[in-house]
Amino acid sequence: MQYLHCMSMTRRSLLLALPAFAVARPTFAQAIPLSEISRYFNSFTTAEGEFTQINPDGTLSTGRIFIRRPGRVRFEYDPPERSLVMAGGGQVAIFDGRSNTGPNQYPLRHTPLNLILERDVDFSNRQMVVGHTHDETTTTVVAQDPENPQYGSIRLIFSSDPTELRQWVIRDDTGAETTVILGNMRFGGELSARLFNITAETEARRR
């Protein structure tokens, strides 16, 4: 049970992840504007690539990420792990690679991931941004659900020229922090709805 709890917290943290995506825009001498951050997230529908995750205990995990906006994401961990995290149909599912009893599930709206998987992301018109800073090389934006800050927060780190998300740090509802770094991202491809079907994945793992 202790393993499952720790794994669930780590996988829940990963669900707050976002894809690295470069868009040719002018250089920003100051912090990248929130309107540009919003435009960035609204610029793509599908993405897939690789991720490296630094877990709260300092260990590393790697795998592949698949995104289909709005509201769908899938994180597949590299072998020997068979763990999987996915969001679809308004739910988040955490599959334990050591069990075939089905996933732990909870509403997507209960994670900060919901903020940036919406159909129309708008950082400027919602009171979701609690931090917006610039250190001359990167812009950092911290966001959380203004009505439910207990769900956790996302700290997004961008470079400019072009606008690109380099990494993010997730603070979950327990206070644990997870860092995710992305690589080899591809955008605009076709992603099957099956990748984000929790029921189908559950049935397949029981066979």
Domain that holds residue 128: 2-205
- 182 exposed, middle or buried (CB, 10 Å; 0-12, 13-18, 19+)? buried
Rounded Cα distance between 7 and 95, Å, is 10
Q: Give the CATH number for residue 186.
A: 2.50.20.10
Q: Do the beta carbons of residue 161 and residue 154 sit within 8 Å?
A: no
Q: Retrieve residue 1's tokens.
A: 């049970």
Rounded Cα distance between 132 and 31, Å, is 7
The total number of structural domains that make up the chain:
1
Rounded Cα distance between 62 and 51, Å, is 6
Rounded Cα distance between 25 and 89, Å, is 33
Question: What is the pLDDT at residue 22?
Answer: 52
**Which residue type is seen at 125?**
N
pLDDT tens, residue order, the chain (207 aa): 433 344 454 555 555 444 445 555 555 568 999 999 999 899 999 999 999 999 999 999 999 999 999 999 999 999 888 889 999 999 999 998 777 778 999 999 888 888 889 999 999 877 899 999 999 899 999 999 888 899 999 999 898 988 888 888 989 888 999 898 988 888 899 999 999 999 999 988 887
Share in percent of the chain as helix, strand, coil (round to 5):
20, 35, 40
The answer, as to whether pTM is greater than 0.85, is no
